[in-house]
Amino acid sequence: MFKSNDLAFFKLEEEDLDNLLKLKQESWGTTHNVTIANRDDQDRWFALLDQNVHSPRNLVLIARHYNGAGAKVGIFKITNVDYISRTADTAWDIFADHRGKGLGKKIVAGGSHFCLDILNLRRLTAEILSINEASLKCACAAGYLYEGTKRQLTHKNGEFLDSQVWGLLTSEFLGVKPN
């Protein structure tokens, strides 16, 4: 367990897969390509997620309230970890019944804190669809800086959407580090 900003972060467990599948079904319109369509696909994905527990290349953290109730509020994804260059890609999402409460900013700050302090990474990258205003605000609040746009990268609902690239360096995060 890793604690930050009144949230506790736990590694994704098999018992979380139903919630994760529901989350993917709720938020597919504002996220990049979602390839997992059903529970069987998700079970296969989970089995292959990352067998290397000592230096994983991919991690999914579940964020819970740290107030005793322990309600699951969202996820923070860490992918393509490069331990030589000390970099990783990040993404996040909030369970529908917890959106609009400021928890996204806490999840992004806490998940980034985990990456930079615990995994000893020095750079994080996030790609966010330009229509996903909530995630853009979360990235900005956690100290991520806008680096550019991949124009018309993803096709959703009959239109091509831009993907914005945001980056965070350890030195930039020090000013907004969560408690």
pLDDT digits (tens, 9 = 90+) for 81-105: 999 999 999 999 998 888 888 899 9
- The radius of gyration computed from the CA coordinates of the chain, to the nearest angstrom, equals 16
Rounded Cα distance, 83 and 86, in Å = 5
The domains located in the chain, with CATH, are 2-176 (3.40.630.30)
Q: Specify the 3-state DSSP secondary structure of 85.
A: coil
- Single-letter residue type at 128: I
pLDDT for the residue numbered 11: 87
3-state percent breakdown (helix, strand, coil) of the chain, nearest 5: 35, 35, 30
Rounded Cα distance, 147 and 165, in Å = 5
Rounded Cα distance, 18 and 38, in Å = 10
Predicted structure pTM score:
0.85
Whether residue 129 is predicted with pLDDT greater than 90 in this model: the reply is yes
Confidence band, pLDDT 50/70/90 cuts, at residue 179: very low
Residue range 128-153: mean pLDDT, rounded: 94
Residue 35: count of CB within 10 angstroms of its CB:
8
